[in-house]
Structure 1
Amino acid sequence: MNKTAIIDDNMVFRKVTQILLKNIGIREENILLFENGKEMFDFMESNSNSINVLPQMIFLDLNMPVMDGWDFLTQLQGYKKKTSYNPKIYILTSSVDQKDYQNVINITTVEKYLIKPINEETITKIYKEYYPEIL
């Protein structure tokens, strides 16, 4: 089963998104929660020999302490050059700054830029597009 990571410093948002994922049929053991990009990157580094445990889909916040979404995306580029890891990235942010949007659309690894809050309908559309077999 494909895993999904939620990288966001807001615990309530992580939990609500986790519930939405479970509501559409994603099993809890396939949902990984990270408070910032560094936690996720450390997880990636510690599992670099077994890429199949890494999430295939990542919901990423841009504004976080320690390692924000921008830094995570930069680190991911280097990691991808060393491995075959190529997750689908969805930016989930409260930022409505047009500059952020313009910067994100130039990053080829990002699938979509979504404004919080996210709902079950949006998550369902994402999964139907990439993983229709699980819905």
Structure 2
Amino acid sequence: MKFPARFIVVDDDAGNNLICKYVITYFAPAATIQLFTEAEKALVSIQEDYNQRTGHLDTALFLDINMPVMDGWEFLDKFSSFPPGLHAQYKIFILSSSIDPEDKEKAENHPHVQGYYSKPLRKETLSEIFSG
């Protein structure tokens, strides 16, 4: 899988978002990176961008599970209601500090989730994801 043109990070921890931005920039300096600390705002942005975009834009989305107001699972439920054409543009990866095996199993069985990785995002993780 080649590096996409855009990355989105959805995590209520601003510090983790900056780590993600640094690691992503190391591998894909020309990529657009959007950071969201609120899942709801990320969903609104995704929907608006899709409604205004005329072409296809491959996007990797790193999603935290444990967030206030709307958690990662609720985010995925809402994302699932979006049009299939939008789904095709996104590769979603869970990036979490959760050690709960049920979270990992749930992520592995979710149709929109491509993988489950532990925080923080590391260069090795990004290399593993996009080395194929």
Q: Whole-Å Cα distance in 1 between the matches of residues 120 and 42 of structure 2?
A: 22
Query: What is the SS of the residue equivalent to 1:90?
Result: strand
2:88 equivalent to 1:77: no
2:48 equivalent to 1:41: no
Counterpart residue type for residue 21 of structure 1: I
Which contiguous aligned blocks of 4+ residues in structure 1 show a shift greater than 3 angstroms? 51-55
Counterpart residue number, 2:11: 8
Identity between Structure 1 and Structure 2 (%): 28
- Contiguous gaps of at least 5 residues in structure 1: 130-135
Cα deviation for residue 53 of structure 1 reads 7.9
Q: Whole-Å Cα distance in 2 between the matches of residues 103 and 56 of structure 1?
A: 22
Q: TM-score, normalised by structure 1?
A: 0.84
- Contiguous gaps of at least 5 residues in structure 2: none
Query: What is the SS of the residue equivalent to 2:12?
Result: coil
2:32 equivalent to 1:30: yes
Counterpart residue type for residue 102 of structure 1: E
- Structure with greater helix share of residues: 1
Q: Whole-Å Cα distance in 1 between the matches of residues 38 and 55 of structure 2?
A: 21
